Amino acid sequence: MRISAFYCNTLFHFGKSFNTKFLKRKPRSVCNLHQYAPKIHVTPTHALIDEEVQIVTNGLHPGQKVTLFAHMVEAKRQYGSCGQYIADDKGVVDTSKNDSQGGTFEGVEPMGLFWSMLIRPKTSIRRLSKEDIMVPYDVTIDVLDGFYDFGDKLWSSGEIQCLTTGQLLRSYSKLGIKRIPVEEDGLHGLIFLPPGDGPFPAVIDIFGFTRESNEFRSALLASHGIASFVIRYIGYKDLPRTIEDIDYNYFLKAFDYLASHPKVDKTALGGVSTCVGGAWLFLIASKRPAMKCLVTVNGVLSPYGSRQTVEGEDIVPADYDLNDATFIDGMMAMTSMYFPDFAKLVRPAWRHGAKILMIQGLDDKCGNPNSLRYLRPFIPKEFLNSVTMVGYPGTGHLLEPPHAPHSLSNYNPYFKKHLLWGGDPKLHARAQEDSWPRILSFLHQHLRSG
């Protein structure tokens, strides 16, 4: 088994098309004209969400203190971030070279303005989530004279001297991506197809217990040439309302639907998952030899729900008990709900030869960071080389594509609690930057046709 850890010696210790209405939008503030004419350059001005952008401001006075303030509106809520910089001896601030002295992040962080985004102060906490995945984030970056913290004054139009403004569109979906709703034969979800005629390698995309459709990963996978079917399985239309009522056969049915799609290469099928989605992927791989590879991100791997018979096999769920959870500052941490013997209930995803990549945040407060260590003894020796485990210190549960803001906690309607996700913002950002290319490389390697 290949085992690696990021910044850690021991595992377990461990194409462009613009909608001009966005570019013509007025910025939050009107920047004043100055004799020395500062100007911000953002390159490219339209990027995929996982693409690094260059942000350079020139025309400043040497040693001038400025604040870069990024802000945008998503789902009628305002989000923003800021970094405090000192211009070099040429009057330049380059976020890829210069240190942020303070703000929502510190140090040399080329994408710090994005992964450190927070909701506007004094508004209800809400995790940043894309409402319409086919529409880009529309980000304005103001260069303000002087140092400002991320407080009310930063958001007060007209009270701060703005030197120059730039604009950036950040997308999950590139030109030509097709978003196809699926609501038939009891299935609910969305298929994202890459540009072109296909057939395409494809994955089924499964998240944990949420009412959100979580389309972002499937859209981004399609932008990288992999068709993806993100499914809903609880709390939507005629789907079960409770965890106990989930039918495990639903996941096999969804995979079979994907395999039968005319634009999908039936010899190049896999899966990606987050949280308890990992249990459903392991079930599918144990029953469907056509699944060539799968990725789990902070996977809860033992079945969750009720005891059922699936294609003649008795599937026993783990005995998860919310009474075993702990509370930290009013947020529910579920780590203490998972026990070592749960690993024996994990379905043998490896038995048909599927390759497995398992990503684990070592500060995950929703799953158990030790789950991979618990699982290892149950993997037969002949399949150890099929499994790769990667652990990331300081990384929480919601591990997403690069530059997504870290989320410490948010409300879950099924548990009716604020769940604690864990993670240090900077280390979490590093893990996202490292894990996503690993995932893409793994999928492209093992989803080859034939």
If one counts every other C-beta atom within 10 angstroms of the C-beta of residue 236, the result is: 15
In angstroms, the CA 231 to CA 257 distance is: 11
In angstroms, the CA 340 to CA 302 distance is: 11
Residue of 188, 364, 406, 428 marked catalytic: 364
In angstroms, the CA 290 to CA 294 distance is: 11
The DSSP-derived string for 350-386 is TTTT-EEEEEEETT-SSS-TTHHHHHGGGS-GGGGGG
In angstroms, the CA 50 to CA 403 distance is: 7
In angstroms, the CA 413 to CA 328 distance is: 19
User: Which residues neighbour 446 within 8 Å (Cβ) at sequence distance 6 or greater?
Assistant: 270, 292, 293, 355
- The closest of 320, 318, 331, 297 to 412, measured between CA atoms, is 331
Report whether 115 contacts 425 (CB < 8 A): yes
Is 185 one of the catalytic residues?
no
Residue 445 structure tokens:
């390697």
In angstroms, the CA 399 to CA 322 distance is: 23
Is 261 one of the catalytic residues?
no
Report whether 92 contacts 115 (CB < 8 A): no
Residue of 397, 403, 428, 446 marked catalytic: 397
Residue of 82, 162, 275, 293 marked catalytic: 275
The DSSP-derived string for 311-354 is TTEEEPPP---GGG-EEETTEEE-GGG--GGGGGGS--TTTTT-
In angstroms, the CA 155 to CA 72 distance is: 11
If one counts every other C-beta atom within 10 angstroms of the C-beta of residue 245, the result is: 11
Is 275 one of the catalytic residues?
yes
DSSP 8-state secondary structure symbol assigned to residue 12 = T
Instruction: List residues with catalytic annotation.
Output: 275, 364, 397
